[in-house]
Structures are given as structure tokens and as C-alpha cells.
Amino acid sequence: MVSVIKEEIEDLQFLGGIFVEIEQQYSEADYSNQLDAFLPVLEGTHKKQFSAQSSPSGQRWPALAPSTIKRKGHNRILFESGRLEKSLTTKSGDAVRSVGEDGRGLLFGTSVPYSVFHNLGKGQKKREHVGLVTKTLDSLVNNVADHTVEEMKARA
């Protein structure tokens, strides 16, 4: 069942007040709960990436050199001690997770110092392991948009 609210506006200046109110509600919105609830989603997607040995976009990481496999004793890419993977898939000591103090903005990553060299390919083969794809971002955006609409309806 769909309910429809119809209101006639006789003076267009009235719309200015509506837009000011919408802008105020938007600027006061706090997305902390939605952003915090999204952190396990990001951890899960990064866990899948490490399992698949691929970038956020699904591109397979370059294979290890035979000499690296011999030195390590295995062919698992981006795995020496598990520190890097753990920092992106759990709330380990190296995990970087925070929601902005104003309830806006999300920081997700790792403080493992060698991560950047692998992720960007600085001086070695690029094995991108931090990030998200449009589908995952769209999921977060839709969740936040739904929350915004519900908050505005509650204030109406």
C-alpha cells in the first residue's frame, strides 16, 4: 500500500523554506551507526580478496618469483606472517578503522608499513590489496541515503 501526501503550494517562496530545512537536516545528520556497521563488510570483502589473491577489482596478483617461493617455503602471495592480511580483515593492532567525529567519513586501512609498497607497486610488482569496488561503495551510499530519508521523515 502506498500513501500519498498532497499539498498545494500557493507561493513559490514557501519552497525556499523547505529547501533550507532539508539542508539543515542533512547537515545535522549523523551516519556513525551506518558507517560503523559497514566496517565488517569491508573486512569481509578484503578477506575474500586475500583468499582469491586478487585486487579489489578482481585482478589476480602477479605470481611470486620462484626464488621467493623457495625462500618463503610456500606460494601464498602477500603472506609472510599474516600481519598484513589480519590488519585488513580483523580489528588487529595494525587495523586502521575510524568513523569521523561528526558522524561523517570513514577511514579503513592498515598501518602495516610495507602495505603501501605492495598496493602501489613501488619498487616491486603491484599487488593492490586495499580498496573497494563500485558495487560495495553503492551499497554503503544506498544505506546512508535510506537512513537520511528515514531521518527526514521522522522529523517531518
Global pTM value: 0.80
Return the pLDDT at 27.
80
Q: Quick one: what percent of the chain has pLDDT higher than 90?
A: 65
* Residue range 67-86, pLDDT digits in tens: 999 999 999 999 999 999 99
CA distances from 34 to 38, 90, 139 (A): 6, 18, 11
* Residue range 15-74, pLDDT digits in tens: 667 778 778 877 888 889 999 999 999 999 999 999 999 999 999 999 999 999 999 999
The 10 Å Cβ neighbour count of residue 90 is 14
C-alpha 25 chain-centroid distance: 24
Q: What is the 3-state secondary structure (H, E, C) of the chain?
A: CCCCCCCCCCCCHHHHHHHHHHHHHHHHCCCHHHHHHHHHHHHHHHHHHHHHCECCCCCECCCCCHHHHHHHCCCCCCCCCCHHHHHHHCCCCCEEEEECCCCCCEEEEECCCCHHHHHHCCCCCCCCCCCCCHHHHHHHHHHHHHHHHHHHHHHC
Mean pLDDT of 1-27: 70
